[in-house]
Copies of this chain bind each other. A is one copy, B any other.
Amino acid sequence: MSQDELRSLLSDRSAAGTPESRIVRVMSERGTLSAAKIATITGMARSTVSTALVGLRRSGIIVEMQNGDAGKSVGRPAVTLALNSEAGTCVGIHVGLEDIRVIVADVSHSVISEKKENLERDYTPARAAEVAKRMIDTSYAENSLRSSALLGVGISISGPVSPGGDVQRASMVPTWAGINIRQVFEPVLQRPIFAGNESNCAAIAEMMWGAAVGCEDFVLFKIDKGVGGAIVHRGQVMTGVAGGAGEFGHMTIDPDGDLCRCGNRGCLEIYASFVRPLAVADRLHGRKMSMDDVILLAKQGDVGSRRLIEDTAQIAGRGLGMIGAILNPPLIVIGGRMALAGSIILEPLIESYERHTLIKLRDQPEAMRTRITIGHFTENDSLMGAVGLVLRHHGRLG
């Protein structure tokens, strides 16, 4: 099977897809699986799976794994299958406020290369595409990868993205509002382009390989220099009719509050992001502080840094309590850089959630309790999710 064939398998958009494309997708999501397990997950007949696997193995897309504990089972041991990591590569791009980050991963989502390039503020989309192209070319050259093996490019944007790929207002990069991602990147990169909001990407990463593996329903809540999130229902990220679902940072918690960059007043983000606490930290320490600085100090026992994080958790928990009243999800994954504070942020956040939400954790038996946990991807969540976009085919444009 050629790269073109694999690319077409991954980009098969029909509701169910061919047996081959369904197998490739489920393998890229789940990692190693037996043929029986593939049949269970996809709901396809064993015979259909077997037939498709013959072709996929012959073409080298799927390989047999060495099964170390085969001796344990009676009878013929189940053969474990995996995607051939040499079968193709994916690129994930994050379009940030003052930088562009690019990751290259194989179809088994092992990271081959990660790069970051700082840019002037308000860089243009055309410049982003050109810089991304150069970064991708360099990554492929440095790692002796064939660029023909590039299956698709996932792009993560700090702001709502419509199902058609238009960046909406309230983006972290305001000059991009109204820009169509596909129209900008496709002519330059000449590969299938998949775009998504950064929090939706983060949710995909947590769902495919992180804190939400095996969970079909959860909420991702990001606390960073902005506040954002994503809602996953039955394994699908809810995008909303215009791409605006999961914009937790823009819930109006004080209609007469300060003006937000989105044009509304008193948005949760103003109070629950770490921008204001950072300004306080700068003043206290007489130098420019980063979130990592404050988190480190808090972990070392600095009471002021601890309190800044706790106060943020307190108000974030109030917002999260409202999300609980609306969604009552089984799982809430805390993402964003502030999640690196671990229990210092998690404990007051859970306490505040419990205080403000309707269905109290203490009233529920274990199975009906909302679990709140720290995400696994707090540093490169959007990039890994952008790779996941390519593999899962979420947010396909056009």
Contact = CB atoms under 8 A, between A and B. Distances in A.
Given A247-B325, A323-B326, A363-B169, A252 B356 contact: yes
A368 interface: yes
Contacts of A245: 326-328
A296 to B, nearest CB: 31
Contact of A251 (B170, B233, B326): B326
**Interface residues of A toward B: which range?**
35 or more
Contacts of A233: 233-234, 238
Given A238-B327, A244-B328, A326-B231, A252 B321 contact: yes
Contact of A252 (B170, B322, B368): B322
A124 to B, nearest CB: 21
Contact of A318 (B169, B217, B255, B322): B255
A323 B255 CA distance: 15
Interface in A340-382: 355-360, 363-364, 368-370
A303 interface: no
A397 to B, nearest CB: 14
A264 to B, nearest CB: 7
Nearest to A356: B252
A154 interface: no
A277 interface: no
Contact of A244 (B242, B246, B251, B359): B359
B358 A160 contact: yes
Nearest to A240: B328
A330 interface: yes
Interface of A: 160, 162-164, 168-170, 217, 231, 233-234, 236, 238-248, 250-253, 255, 262, 264, 318, 321-330, 355-360, 363-364, 368-370
